[in-house]
Amino acid sequence: MRSNRGRYQNDEKKQEKKTAKRKYMSYEEVPLEDYRDDEPLPHDITKKFLKMFLILFLSVVAVLALLNIDKLTPDNIAHWFQYDLLGKSEGDGYPTKFSGSIINTGNFDMISGSPVYCSDTTITVLNSNAGKHQEQQHSFAAPFLSVNGGYGIIYNADATGYTIIKRDTTEYTGSVKNKIFSADISANGVYAILTESEEYLSRVTVFRSDNLEKYNYSFADYYMNNVSVSKDGSRAILSGVSARNGGIISVIYILDFSQDNYLQKYEADDTYIYSVRFMDNGNAYAVGSDGCFFININDGSKTDISYGGRDLTAFTLKRNQGLMLSLSANPDGRDCDLISFDADGNKDFEVKTGEKIISLDMRKSDRAILASDRITVFDHDGKRRASAEADPDSRKIIFCENDMFYVLGKSRISCLTAG
């Protein structure tokens, strides 16, 4: 026992000597200034690291900016910050039910690459995952939507109210003095509103992007019903109708906002014009009940496009591409021929589909149709190269990117990819 105790005492003494030699830190006894390391890092290490990180970060940003220079608009930057970075509205994916009880097919379009619709109750812009860039209630009894690039205008037909939107914001809500017949907006925010007039049959008023009036023109001999503004907001094409010798006569006006008189004027007997549209290259189209008209603005020429005894069943006017028609020789609209014309008035596509076409659209060299419950994509040679099943109640398709389509149904909007 004694020897063990002696060994324990010797061990304790050795441990005390070791502990006495070891340096340790007590947070209760050591002053704060002594907490520092004896050999701190050089002061310039942190600065050098931050400088290298900043240079690397700026280099990456510069490369991304150069690769996406055409997309670096204030709207897109704001959109990226709000939706991609902050995740403002992610959405639950397509298909998605739309707000309201009905959407007219003309009130379903694309704005800045996103689907936009105007129902009987709301104006809504969706993102790629069915989240909402924006949604607002409206009180328009007869809303109509027209989109050009990043701008859209919604007007209340046969009333006086209208709203200007972008993808993420409502830019302006206002009204005019007289009832609205039609309205359109340019890619830079200049817009035209065609209305009734106290002194004349109709009048068009053009507003700058800051909503101040810049131009107006009155029509004494025709009831004007359609207007389209050029991409740069400097001109407009309008159509109207009047009676002559027991029949109807349609008129097309080309207006230049820098001139007091009209630039060009054309008349067409026994036809009613459904729609007019300025192309992005400065030319224009008018679609009528018995034929179409291509107008070369530079030389003032008008080219008639005949339906060849067939009935027009559907059409689309793409500002960046041209005109596309569905024509049928059958009273019930079966066995449609699909024809398209480019922005210079040249026919660039024709094929017999054998289908009853409900809706149609085009993108670059591809042409797409909705027939019954199927979307079919044709290549530039008229061959069927892709397809997708759609809901039986589908009413309109919009060609997006690659073979992706947004599809409007009776109660919901779908996103389909043809393969």
pLDDT tens sequence across 398-415: 999 889 999 999 999 999
Could you tell me the two tokens for 321?
């591409």
Dump pLDDT digits (tens) for 126-155. Answer: 999 999 999 999 999 999 999 999 999 999
| Whether the predicted model's global pTM rises above the 0.85 cut | no
pLDDT of residue 150: 97
Instruction: Give me the mean pLDDT over the 206-219 stretch.
Output: 98
Residue 346 pLDDT class (50, 70, 90 cuts): very high
Q: How far apart are CA 188 and CA 164, in angstroms?
A: 12
Dump pLDDT digits (tens) for 104-127. Answer: 999 999 999 999 999 999 999 999
pLDDT of residue 17: 46
pLDDT of residue 282: 97
Q: Is 377 exposed, middle or buried (0-12, 13-18, 19+ CB in 10 A)?
A: buried
Residue 56 pLDDT class (50, 70, 90 cuts): confident
Residue 308 has pLDDT above 80, yes or no: yes
Q: Phi, psi at residue 32, to the nearest 5°?
A: -60, -40
pLDDT of residue 90: 77
Instruction: Give me the mean pLDDT over the 356-372 stretch.
Output: 97
pLDDT of residue 92: 92
Residue 68 pLDDT class (50, 70, 90 cuts): low
Instruction: Give me the mean pLDDT over the 66-78 stretch.
Output: 61
Residue 89 has pLDDT above 60, yes or no: no
Instruction: Say what percent of the chain tops pLDDT 70.
Output: 83
Nearest in space to 160 (alpha carbons), one of 139, 185, 190:
139
Q: Is the peptide bond before 74 cis (omega within 30 degrees of 0)?
A: no
Q: How far apart are CA 201 and CA 220, in angstroms?
A: 5
